[in-house]
Amino acid sequence: MIMGNPQMTWCPPFWTLPISTTSRYGSHGAFYRYKNSMGKSLPLFYIYDSYLTSPEAWAHLLTPNGPHSIRNTPYDGVFIALLVEEGHTHDILAAGFDGMYTYFASNGFSFGSSHQNWKAVKNFCDANNLMFIPSVGPGYIDTSIRPWNNHSTRNRVNGKYYETALQAALTVRPEIVSITSFNEWHEGTQIEKAIPKKTPTRLYLDYLPHQPSLYLELTRRWAEHFIKEKEQWLM
């Protein structure tokens, strides 16, 4: 299970993205690499708002025969696109991505973030040799920065919302589950330790009556469960 947002890359001009990141950080021991189906360990990139660039433009970079292809070069990687709308599945395939992730922690906010759609998305990915990475979160509330968006708020229900999302993710047997997020307090999706805190302009979420480490403990428990489940799937 991947904690937080591994190798989250906020999309600069797409042709410079893997080159600059891999050149600068590729030799570092903390640089996350994923072993693909061919047995190669490659950097894993999440591309946020990937749909803002056309599939045709991405294909120049990500398909083996694209005019600027980085496949089988030192800058190759595992590139995961953001799935928001249902139609993005076909765009992601045409673009040459290696898979798709859902990101948003508010169940029902988008097609991709709706748990009920994950099985269909996983089936599409399996049929087209793509990875599907569902993203789960402990809840969602961003009204401190988007006052109009209260309809997207999802109550944590003392950890039950998080566990429901994790169970929904494991049900589709993914290779990876990502978590939104470790510390995005402004959207109320953090899982790091939290204690009561109030400032003149903000009341921070806490996990009372539970311990400050509630969500880290839940994450560890579910990560262990995920590992055991994967072992069963491979039998």
- Looking at residue 16, its pLDDT comes to 60
Domains detected in the chain: 42-234 (3.20.20.80)
What is the token pair recorded at 28?
């570092």
Least trusted range by pLDDT, from 53-62, 150-159, 193-202, 222-231: 193-202
pTM of the model: 0.90
In this predicted structure, the answer to whether residue 4 has a pLDDT above a threshold of 60 is no
Q: What is the mean pLDDT of the chain?
A: 91
Reply yes or no on whether the pLDDT at 15 is more than 60.
no
| Percent of the chain clearing pLDDT 70 (strictly above) | 92
Instruction: Give 40-67 pLDDT, tens digit per residue.
Output: 999 999 999 999 999 999 999 999 999 9
Block residue for tokens 């290696």: 98
